[in-house]
Amino acid sequence: MGNLLARSAENLFWLGRTLERVENLARIIEITETFARDYSERNWLSVVQINADEKRFFEKYSATDAPSVVGFYLLDGENPTSLPATLQAAHQNARALRPVISIEMWEQVNVMRHHWREVSAKDLAAPGLPRLCRRVRDQCQVHEGIVEGSLSHDEAWYYYRVGKAIERADQTTRLLDIKYHLLMPNIDAIGSALDSSQWNALLRAANGYQAFRRVYQGRMTPAAVAGFLLFSDSFPRSISLCVREITWMLSQLRSRYRLTGGVAAEEKLDEMRAVLGDITIEKIIDNGLHEFLDWLQRQFAGLTDDLREGFFGE
């Protein structure tokens, strides 16, 4: 068997990324709806900020109330970061990949899209919204199970996993950046129940609430939360773990398939690992968390460019 078509590799990368994005978006909206009722407008604004959609959003809406933000992300197919648009992109990638991926993988994405096409405004009314988000998350997780059980763990699998890991890491940096800086001023009102519930919501939005608890038990500080999301060596969405996984996958492509397209990306990853291994969360916060997260985001964007040049034939 020869090497994978460059276009297929790119489609796999984006299939992994877009479905991860769908899962994250559904989770963030579900958590915001459920746990962030206080400071409602500010919390819904943060969803828009996480997706860097301020400009597009305020062209259409004047206030970040729940119906506007939910409608913008769950119903508006013209918004390219909306769930229907992202799912449509995933579906398009999966369609182009049909000869490469397993039939079950394709069928499940196809059915997911068919389901979503039947969703309308009335499905978002309470208590339908959390249920709907939960269904999408379930479908994304079923998808991941199907991938593990039915996609050959060959070259194709690595591009899919790299895409997924980059998206996870990118989502974690965005979430942490916006939420941390949203919640920090409230630190003055130390010890209020409201504060810890907002930090809990941040962890839940990253799907890390329980994982954090197991590590930190009763201790909960903003620095601990930020450190956990950046440095945990076992939480699936931490930056360190994603960087480690991407590094491993690119080295596999090099050693198992003699593919050298990932060399530039590997150099970037080496640099990131060195920085992450050398620095503490206190130091990062002293120097500016936002600046550090911004640097990480630029690194991940650079990785995507390196892969595009190295593997995807551009």
Partner 1 sequence: MGDDAKGLLAGYDRGAFFCELTSYRNTNDPQIATVLDRLGRLEFADLSRRSAEAERELFNLGITFTVYSDRDSIDRILPFDVIPRLITGAEWSILEAGVVQRVQAINLFLADIYHDKRILKDKVVPAELVLGNSNYRPEMEGIDVACGTYAHVCGIDLIRDPQGIFCVLEDNARTPSGVSYVVENRTLMMRTFPDLMADLRIRPVDDYGIRLHAAMAEIAPNGAGAGGGDPQVVLLSPGIFNSAFFEHVFLAREMGVPLVEGRDLVVDDDKVFMKTTGGLERVHTIYRRLNDDFIDPEVFRPDSLLGVKGLMRAYRKGNVALANAVGTGIADDKAVYAYMPRIIRYYLGEEPILPNVETMICREPEGLSYTLDHLEELVVKPVGESGGYGLLIGPKASKEEIAEFRLKLRHDPSNYISQPMIGLSVVPTLTASGVAARHVDLRPFAVTGSSTWVLPGGLTRVALREGSIVVNSSQGGGSKDSWVLGGQNG
Q: Given the rule CB under 8 A, which residues bind partner 1?
A: 2-9, 92, 95-96, 98-99, 103, 106-107, 110-111, 114, 155, 257-259, 261, 311-313
CB of 96 vs partner 1, minimal distance in Å: 5
Torsion of CA 267, 269, 271, 273, to 10 degrees: -150
CB of 239 vs partner 1, minimal distance in Å: 26
Contact 9, 257 (CB under 8 A): no
Closest to partner 1 by CB, 1 or 193: 1
- Distance between CA atoms of residues 294 and 314, nearest Å: 26
CB of 281 vs partner 1, minimal distance in Å: 37
CB of 260 vs partner 1, minimal distance in Å: 8
Closest to partner 1 by CB, 48 or 89: 89
> Residue 115, CB half-sphere, CA atoms under 13 Å: how many?
16
Q: Is the dihedral of CA 80, 81, 82, 87 positive or negative?
A: positive
- Distance between CA atoms of residues 81 and 166, nearest Å: 17
CB of 4 vs partner 1, minimal distance in Å: 5
Spell out the residues 6+ positions from residue 295 whose beta carbon is closer than 8 angstroms to its own.
none
Q: For the purposes of burial, counting CB atoms within 10 Å of the CB of 195, is it exposed (0-12), middle (13-18) or buried (19 or more)?
A: middle
Single-letter amino acid, residue 29: I
